Chain A
Amino acid sequence: MAPAFTREQVVTIASLANLELKPEELDLFAKQLGDILAYAAEVQRIDTTGVPPTAAVVTRHVSDRADTIGPCLDRDLALANAPDGSEDAGMFRVPRVIG
Chain B
Amino acid sequence: MRPLASDLTVRGIRESLRSRSRSAVDVCRDALARIGALDPSLRAFNTVAADRALARARDIDDHPDLWRDAPLAGVPIALKDNICTRGVRTTASSRILDTFVPPYDATVVDRLEAAGAVLVGKTNCDEFAMGSSNENSAYGPVHNPWALDRIPGGSSGGSAAAVAAGLVPLALGSDTGGSIRQPAALCGVVGLKPTYGRVSRYGLLAFGSSLDQIGPLTRTVADAALALGLMAGADAADATSAPEPVSDYTAALTGDIRGVRIGIPRALLEGVDPEVGRAVAAAFDVLASRGAVLVDVDLPHAKHAIAVYYLVATAEASSNLARYDGVRYGFRAPAAGSDGTLKTMYARTRAQGFGAEVKRRIMLGTYVLSAGYYDAYYLKAQQVRTLILRDYDRAFERVDVVAMPTSPTPPFKLGEKTDDPLQMYLSDIFTISANLGGVCGVSIPCGFTSAAKPLPIGLQIIGKPFGEETILKIAHAYEQTTEWHKRKPAFTA
Contacts and interface: CB of A to CB of B under 8 A. Distances in A.
Interface of A: 9-10, 13-22, 25, 29, 32-33, 35-37, 39-44, 46, 48, 51-63, 65, 73-74, 77-78, 80-84, 92-97, 99
B320 to A, nearest CB: 13
A42 B308 CA distance: 9
A53 B366 contact: no
B327 A94 contact: yes
Contacts of A97: 341-342
Interface of B: 99-101, 103-104, 196-197, 210, 234-236, 239-244, 301, 304, 306-308, 310-311, 318, 322, 325-332, 336-338, 340-348, 350-351, 354, 356, 359-360, 362-364, 366-367, 370, 376-377, 379-387, 389, 421-422, 425, 437-438, 465
A54 B236 contact: no
A29 B210 contact: no
B302 to A, nearest CB: 12
A99 B437 CA distance: 48
Contacts of B363: 10, 13-14, 17, 19, 29, 33
A35 B234 CA distance: 41
Nearest to A73: B103
Contacts of A48: 380, 383-384, 386-387
Nearest to B387: A51
B382 A95 contact: no
A54 B370 contact: no
Contacts of B342: 94-97
Nearest to A16: B366
Contact of B307 (A43, A52, A56, A81): A43
A82 B347 contact: no
Nearest to B388: A54
Contacts of B422: 32, 35-36, 39
A13 B382 contact: no
A69 B225 CA distance: 36
B321 to A, nearest CB: 9
A53 B383 contact: yes
A96 B341 contact: yes
Contact of B382 (A36, A53, A60, A81): A53
B345 A46 contact: no
A25 B360 CA distance: 10
Contact of A81 (B241, B328, B438): B328
B307 A42 contact: yes
Contact of A20 (B239, B242, B348, B364): B348
A56 B100 CA distance: 30
Given A19-B359, A39-B422, A48-B383, A58 B240 contact: yes
> Which of B330, B364, B376, B425 has the most chain A CB within a 10 Å cutoff?
B364
Given A42-B307, A58-B196, A73-B104, A32 B421 contact: yes
9 contacts: A15-B347, A18-B325, A40-B381, A54-B385, A58-B438, A63-B243, A73-B103, A84-B332, A84-B337
Given A35-B422, A43-B377, A81-B329, A95 B104 contact: no
A15 B343 CA distance: 9
B310 to A, nearest CB: 6
Contact of B350 (A18, A58, A84, A96): A18
A44 B100 CA distance: 41
Contacts of A10: 363
A62 B244 CA distance: 9
B374 to A, nearest CB: 11
> Which of B241, B325, B362 has the most chain A CB within a 10 Å cutoff?
B362
B310 A40 contact: yes
A20 B377 contact: no
A87 to B, nearest CB: 14
B103 A19 contact: no
B351 A83 contact: no
B37 to A, nearest CB: 33
B19 to A, nearest CB: 41
A36 B379 contact: no
Contacts of B329: 81-83
Nearest 4 CB-CB pairings of A with B: A57-B438, A53-B382, A83-B332, A81-B329
A99 B341 CA distance: 7
> Which of B338, B341, B383, B385 has the most chain A CB within a 10 Å cutoff?
B383
A61 to B, nearest CB: 6
Contact of B344 (A20, A21, A51, A56): A20
Nearest to B324: A18
A51 B350 contact: no
A70 to B, nearest CB: 9
A74 B114 CA distance: 23
A81 B101 contact: yes
A46 B384 contact: yes
A37 B361 CA distance: 12
A46 B325 contact: no
Contact of B328 (A17, A52, A65, A82): A82
Given A20-B348, A61-B243, A96-B342, A43 B337 contact: no
B386 A44 contact: no
Nearest to A22: B351
Contacts of B240: 56, 58, 61
Contacts of A43: 304, 307-308, 311, 377, 380-381, 384
